[in-house]
Structures are given as C-alpha cells and as structure tokens.
Amino acid sequence: MSTDISIFKSQSEIIHSDGGRTSALGKKLAGTVKFYSRRIQTNNKGFFRKVVNGENIGEPIRDSFNAIVVGMLPGVSRIYYKEKYDPEGEPTLPNCWSNNNDVPEPQSADKQHANCANCPQNVKGSGDNGGRACRYQRRIAVLLAGDSSGDVYQFSVPAKSLFGKGAGNVHPYESYVKYLLANREAPDTVITQISYDLEAEGMELTFSPVRQLNANEFALVEAAQLRPETELYTRVTVSQTDGVVKLPAMEPKVKQPAVTRAEEPDGEEVAEVEPIKRVKRQEEVVASGSSAENLASVIDDWSKGR
C-alpha cells in the first residue's frame, strides 16, 4: 500500500534528489507564480488526492497516507451550508462559518446569528437525521511524510472523524491529540498515519502515530511553522483554498413590521424588535482567500505584519 500522494503515475528508477531540483526553465517560470494553494482531498470512495489551486493533481492513493501536522487552531471550527452537498453542482462559499466556534467570520455572506451558541442552526434536529445543520470541522495544516520540499497542505477533518474514543493508538482526531499529549508527544513531533476506517458505515477517518520525527523532518516542521500559509490554512475554508467565489443560496430574511407614527415614543428613536442585518451584495463581499491571487495577497499582508 502506497503512502505517497505523488504526481507520477509510476517510477521504478530511484532518483537521488530531494525533489527540489532547479533548471533554467523552472527558474524562469517560477517568477510568474506567486502562490500555490494546496490541500489534500478526501472522498467517500476511500481515496486521498492532491488539489493545487482547485485542480486535481497526480494519482490518488487509497486507504491511508502519512503526514506531519504542523498547524491547527486551539479548538474546533463550525461551517454551515444551506443547500445539501451535490457532487455534480457548482461549488459555492459556505453560508456561514466560524473558525473558533464562537461568532460568524466577517467574510460569511449569510450570517445565521450573532453567536454560535444561540444559533438556530446549532440546535439538534436542525440538520439531517436529527443532527445539527451547522457542522463541526477542523482544518489542519500538514506536511507529507517523505516530501523534503516542505510544501504545506490544508487537510479538513470532517465532523464524524473528530469526536469519540480510540482503541490502542488509533483514534478520532480530538482523542488522538489528547493521546499524544498524554504520552509526551504532540502532533508536530510524530509521523501520523491518516486512514479511512474501513469498518465504518460512512466516511470516517482515524489517526495513529507511526514514529517520532528525525532531525531533518523536525527542521522541515520548524521552517513550515514560520510560513504564513501554515496558519492561514487553519482559518480559510476549503472553498476559499480552491478559489471559489460564487456566493451560496441565501436564507430568506424575516421582514419586520412597519412602525406607525402612533407607536413611536415622543423624543426617542424606535428600537427594532430584532436588528435587521442587510445582506451584502456580491460585489461588496470580500471572501478572504477566494482565489489563489487573493490568498497570496492575504499571505503577503500577514508576512508584513499588517
């Protein structure tokens, strides 16, 4: 079973190179590209695939791959789509999302509530099968084991792979992190095998430690953690990473009844029952990282400390 998500269909000859070779043409072309957005994609057929600037790259691998987690937020995030997922449909930005599970992100075009705790999409039964319509999610930044280029990828851990108890050294993600810390390790000090749970009814992932990092691998981790995109991948949604700009279907807004002159208190402004939030027009919505160019611009701003 291969653990390398490679651009090559096959290569039997061993090439003694770290993958970072340069050439005259490569140097010339490299100057025309500012930033590549990278992520590892999952699907319900048990495959992992590289996605670069929204395009599938190379041959997918099945069942599992090895990686090093180099970035994650302190807590889980939330994400809400009004429409059900359609693999044949055109991708859109989420209606609403929160990186820290507290309030909607400013870039959310269709905020559902002022905070996550009291949001109607966070109520059991608001989603399919009695669950919540707003789903938990965790976006992590990873290096691929064996890849000395140091390229960082976004990886999205779905809700069903986050919580629950593990067995031995195989765990859902949140339990896996606790397991490592309890054993005086951390996600960025070990090689992690990310696998599909072949016994699960739906698409679920498991995480298990393979070994400790060697000195060269740890140096790659330290270098990656200084790069702005490592933190950015934990904050932008998958659709933003892929350069999606289409806005989602909006929730209908409840129109407040008009207030007559007789109902207005003398000398005071009328307070609305609930604040009316104007839905921004598409040209007014700034979706951070909505394309490779915009994502590169955000990274550039971060690196300059703006």
pLDDT for the residue 128: 83
Structure tokens at 254: 């409840």
pTM of the model: 0.76
- More confident: 274 or 92: 92
pLDDT for the residue 263: 38
**DSSP state string for 229-269:** HHHHHHHS-HHHHTT--PPPPPPPPPPPPPPPGGGSPTTSP
- More confident: 32 or 269: 32
Structure tokens at 98: 């929160």
pLDDT for the residue 89: 85
Q: Give the pLDDT confidence of 227-262 residue by residue, as tens digits.
A: 999 999 999 999 999 889 898 988 666 554 544 433
Q: What count of Cα atoms within 13 Å lies in the side-chain half-sphere of residue 77? A: 24
pLDDT for the residue 251: 64
As a whole number, the mean pLDDT across the chain is: 81
Q: What count of Cα atoms within 13 Å lies in the side-chain half-sphere of residue 137? A: 21
pLDDT for the residue 261: 38
pLDDT for the residue 229: 92
Structure tokens at 205: 């992932």
Among the ranges given (171-180, 188-197, 200-209, 258-267), the one the predictor scored with the smallest mean pLDDT: 258-267
In this structure, what is the dihedral angle of CA atoms 128, 130, 131, 133, given to the nearest 10 degrees?
Answer: 50
Q: Give the pLDDT confidence of 35-65 residue by residue, as tens digits.
A: 679 999 998 889 999 999 989 999 999 999 9
Give the helix/strand (H/E) hosting 174.
helix 173-182
pLDDT for the residue 129: 81
Average pLDDT over residues 263-270: 36
- More confident: 291 or 295: 295
pLDDT for the residue 155: 97
- Residue in 1, 16, 110 with CA at minimum distance from that of residue 62: 1
Give the helix/strand (H/E) hosting 160.
none
pLDDT for the residue 217: 97
- More confident: 284 or 119: 119
Give me the phi and psi of 179, to 5 degrees please: -60, -45
Give domain limits for the chain: 33-248+278-303
- Residue 98 DSSP SS3: strand
Other Cβ atoms less than 10 A from the Cβ of 49: the count is: 16
Which one-letter DSSP state was computed for residue 142?
E
Average pLDDT over residues 81-97: 90
- Residue in 29, 53, 72 with CA at minimum distance from that of residue 296: 53
Beta strand pairing call for 77-80 and 64-71: unpaired
Average pLDDT over residues 267-290: 40
